Amino acid sequence: MEESTMKLNFPVDRGEFASAGKASSRIKKILQNIGLNNAFVRKVAIATYEAEMNLVIHSLGGQITISIGEGKVIIEVEDRGPGIENIELAMTEGYSTATEVIREMGFGAGMGLPNIKKCSDDLSIQSKVGEGTKMIMSFNYQ
């Protein structure tokens, strides 16, 4: 992205359910304050929240970076952790490795990644087993 890009960084801790959703709600407020339309902000917020919860639940922690440029918002999500062995399988609706405890908390429907795919205009996932995962999602606006 070119010079007009604004870039902000938010850490996400593993297992931190008390503060989970903080990064995505901050990102939502930033986009609202800029004056981007509600439907667009909602799409970015949903995808970012799903990615944030995946870091809390499935990784050892990481960070979310938002870049806002002319007509485009890019969300980069990076973690250290087990990685994703089969990305295609992980993208399948209903596929989840979440434990019973996590399911009792209301997560683990296996809908996070499919939702991210639906909400974003472009999605790339790179993962190394035993190292971690990097996801880049982009959203176009008028």
Ligand X SMILES: Nc1ncnc2c1ncn2[C@@H]1O[C@H](COP(=O)(O)OP(=O)(O)OP(=O)(O)O)[C@@H](O)[C@H]1O
Q: Which is nearer to Mg ion, 31 or 56 (CB)?
A: 56
Contacting residue, 20, 84, 119, 137, with ligand X by CB under 6 A: 84
| Total residues interacting with ligand X, rule: CB under 6 A | 24
Residues, the chain: 142
Beta bridge pairs of residue 80:
132
The single-letter DSSP state of residue 78 is E
Contacting residue, 21, 62, 112, 132, with Mg ion by CB under 5 A: 112
The residue type at 70 = E
Least Cα distance to 77 among 10, 5, 1 occurs for 10
Q: How far is CA 104 from CA 1, 101, 107, 109, in A?
A: 41, 5, 7, 11
Cα 135 from Cα 36, distance rounded (Å): 23
Contacting residue, 54, 59, 120, 127, with Mg ion by CB under 5 A: 54
Task: Indicate whether 55 belongs to the interface with ligand X (CB under 6 A).
Answer: yes
Task: Indicate whether 61 belongs to the interface with ligand X (CB under 6 A).
Answer: no
Cα 34 from Cα 28, distance rounded (Å): 10
Residue 108: which of ligand X, Mg ion, none does it interact with, CB under 5 to 8 A by kind? ligand X
Cα 12 from Cα 137, distance rounded (Å): 17
CA atoms within 13 A on the CB side of 142: 3
Contacting residue, 30, 98, 123, 136, with ligand X by CB under 6 A: 98
Task: Indicate whether 97 belongs to the interface with ligand X (CB under 6 A).
Answer: yes
Task: Indicate whether 24 belongs to the interface with Mg ion (CB under 5 A).
Answer: no
Q: Which is nearer to ligand X, 66 or 132 (CB)?
A: 132
Site for ligand X, rule CB under 6 A: 50, 54-55, 57-59, 79, 81-84, 90, 95-98, 107-113, 133
